[in-house]
Structure 1
């Protein structure tokens, strides 16, 4: 019957049986992840209603006691969201009201529209922190990789051998990518970390509420500025998070692609622990997890497009469409965490075939640029030096020789300048040419590690304050 719904006063007829299956059956599983957050939001809201004397102390105490009992159940995984009650908000309110009639007053000065924004921000704060920890683990794994394998390594352009570099140089490049990923997440955290409670359905509330108080109890930096914007912007934060995760997984995909291609060149040896075999071909050692990382980067892009296209063209205010962004966001977070976890375990186990790397560099004439630079430093115009170096490479290919076999007398005569054998050897040695790249060292720690620690401490302090104020009311 319609009257059994908490919002049923407007309706004469009961809703169709399939309605709530369509509206909530899929969403209920996602709402399960929000149960603890929703209850904590209600704890802060009821404390505020008591502080503002909107609820009497006895009323608030009974509601808070009921919420604490539900909080314990939710933490133990025993509070199950029933899709027939639509969403986690109605499930919590129904459960509280079953314990105390005062539960019917809990929703005063509040809407599910600001509640869902609150729960989403709670979830996103924890997700951003967990994602940042995953990125820090990736950086640490790159640092381990570089420490174990401080050898020369080819750099590539157009996937052709470019110049001699080093494993640490390659690792440092990807370390920097993850540093930018964390910077983007940190910036997003500052936008997410605002309290939406008090925004109501769309136009706020005339109740004498205290938004700064609930902000303090819930660890927010302050309250959102405009109720209409707060409600209308559902999906925006979710899409922004996914856009950042697209880039993070593109970075992971790039690493995976490097490893796959270079293992095919036999420069990198894949770890047995994270490789698979063929059911038919006994010799195969397949990089399945690395290939799946590439695939999951594509999935992440799809999830971002789902979220962005959901909010495209919606009118101002709350629309049910935005419920779909919850799926995209949560699935995206889970996908990213799984990628970060497995890649951070693969990287330190990689081995490098130094003999094959040296052949790759020699046969790719990786020192040709340094050779041209040597001529230019001796006074040969760079464009002419470039031409001489290119012609020398062509001659070496024809004679099946390497640049490292060149004689100073021949080069001096060709270029019209005086070059010693030592100078020439330095310019055409892959080890000595790679020395420039070795000056790039992976930092001991990321600047974002301290920021992450501070964010987590702030949330813990706010939670302690919330429980203290709850206890002051419940006794």
Structure 2
């Protein structure tokens, strides 16, 4: 049943209808449409547009419809209605007759769909929030279990300086904390109710829009009807927050994929989260992390799509805005699923401490520590940097570590080097020196882990 048929004398072209109709995806808004309709019926009764008895009939019928949707979310798809709004009205009409036709008084599908989508966004963003906290909890547990295990840190994918494995995990905790703050900011800004703004100019019914917003659980009512029906900033904001968060997930996945490779061997994938090869029996593939990396592109694509939909639209509502839903629904579902998957698989990831330590000790990762040692003896850092660079070349030609060179050879490059250089070149000594705030010294990492745990407890 179309909600606009009176103006038209000819039947709608079937090809146009299939192109135009949105029930195939906006059925997901059924519960929100029912919720908004129950609140609107109450306002119509307060404005004496319908009687108290009619309002009670509408409320009861809508409540029954909500129960039916709860039991079968795809119930609307069994009909050929244009959209979820017309489906709800058609169901009410079957049950209540003429009373159902009064429900749409003073409202438009423009303010109704804007309200439905905001309610849906609030609900699903809270679901994402819980999933993000679950991912953070998994990372904190991973860092806890890693203890003081050491691994090589990388820049340019080249071994750089040793870091604690926990320090690596906590880096992603920091990223996800920022993602959580972006999500909370977006939730605060979307918490505005458009219902009662009509098609674009406001409603002609004397409703209390502040009371209406409160009943629907919004923090406030929209202040401008033109903006209210055409605003999709919250879709963009949540899509952007999802894109940034998924980018963090992708970077973490790329790290894990490399760390689990035969070339690195730092981490080990549990059998429960690994896949095999149909041809090569020896393979153990990190498919779950590759999928996380791949799904990031899908989410980023949805962000670009909604920005393109909105970029040239005049005020107020335009049918282009129907394209705000399919990608957004998929984006939110993918975002939440990806976070839950990360939280699920991280406990099945273990650290090969011996391999990590061996890799951290190789590659002259203590070269900076030697330069710092020379600085402590009074040499300017630039000179120390050059001296150590020459020493690395010398050691590499002999295929020896810096600490394996005899003292007399070290002293050929600087007379400042003494016997006390060898303790300074040990792995633990280098780690302990990185004790400034944010560094990888064990005591700093332990403190950071405790602070992160305290922060987490305040979020749940």
Give the TM-score normalised by the residue count of structure 2: 0.92
2: CA distance, partners of 1:78 / 1:263: 41
2: CA distance, partners of 1:397 / 1:410: 13
Matched ranges for 1:64-463 at <5 A:
64-77=59-72, 80-82=75-77, 84-100=80-96, 101-150=98-147, 151-234=149-232, 236-264=233-261, 265-407=264-406, 411=410, 414-417=413-416, 419-421=418-420, 424-435=421-432, 436=434, 437=440, 438=442, 439-440=444-445, 441-442=448-449, 443-445=451-453, 447=455, 450=458
**Cα distance change on mapping 1:447 and 1:191 into 2, 3 Å:** farther
Which SS does the other structure have where 2:159 is aligned? strand
Q: Do the aligned residues in 2 keep the contact of 1:20 with 1:84 (CA within 8 Å)? A: no
Q: Which of 49, 55, 60 matches 1:60? A: 55
Residue 49 of structure 1 aligns with which residue? Answer: 44
2: CA distance, partners of 1:322 / 1:158: 43
- Tell me how large the CA RMSD over aligned residues is: 1.9
**In terms of mean alpha carbon deviation, does 183-192 or 440-449 score higher?**
440-449
Aligned residue pairs, count:
444
Q: Do the aligned residues in 2 keep the contact of 1:179 with 1:446 (CA within 8 Å)? A: no
Q: Do the aligned residues in 2 keep the contact of 1:113 with 1:200 (CA within 8 Å)? A: yes
Which SS does the other structure have where 1:206 is aligned? coil
Q: Do the aligned residues in 2 keep the contact of 1:153 with 1:357 (CA within 8 Å)? A: yes
Superposed displacement of residue 212, structure 1: 0.6
Q: Do the aligned residues in 2 keep the contact of 1:266 with 1:353 (CA within 8 Å)? A: yes
2: CA distance, partners of 1:78 / 1:400: 67
2: CA distance, partners of 1:240 / 1:16: 37
Which SS does the other structure have where 2:141 is aligned? helix
1: CA distance, partners of 2:302 / 2:276: 31
Which SS does the other structure have where 2:60 is aligned? helix
Give the TM-score normalised by the residue count of structure 1: 0.89
Superposed displacement of residue 252, structure 1: 0.6
Q: In the TM superposition, what whole-angstrom CA distance separates every residue of 1:301-344 from its partner, at most 9, and x where no partner exists? A: 11111111111211111111111120111001111122112222
Greater RCO, 1 or 2 (C-alpha within 8 Å, sep 6+): 1
1: CA distance, partners of 2:111 / 2:164: 52
1: CA distance, partners of 2:408 / 2:185: 59
Which SS does the other structure have where 1:269 is aligned? strand
Superposed displacement of residue 418, structure 1: 5.8
Superposed displacement of residue 444, structure 1: 4.6
User: Where does structure 1 differ by over 6 angstroms across 4 or more consecutive aligned residues?
Assistant: none
Superposed displacement of residue 282, structure 1: 1.2
Q: Do the aligned residues in 1 keep the contact of 2:143 with 2:169 (CA within 8 Å)? A: yes
Residue 17 of structure 2 aligns with which residue? Answer: 20
Q: Do the aligned residues in 2 keep the contact of 1:242 with 1:304 (CA within 8 Å)? A: yes
Residue 4 of structure 2 aligns with which residue? Answer: 7
2: CA distance, partners of 1:407 / 1:122: 71
Superposed displacement of residue 409, structure 1: 6.0
**In terms of mean alpha carbon deviation, does 401-410 or 163-172 score higher?**
401-410
2: CA distance, partners of 1:184 / 1:426: 45
Which SS does the other structure have where 2:192 is aligned? coil
Q: Do the aligned residues in 1 keep the contact of 2:273 with 2:348 (CA within 8 Å)? A: no
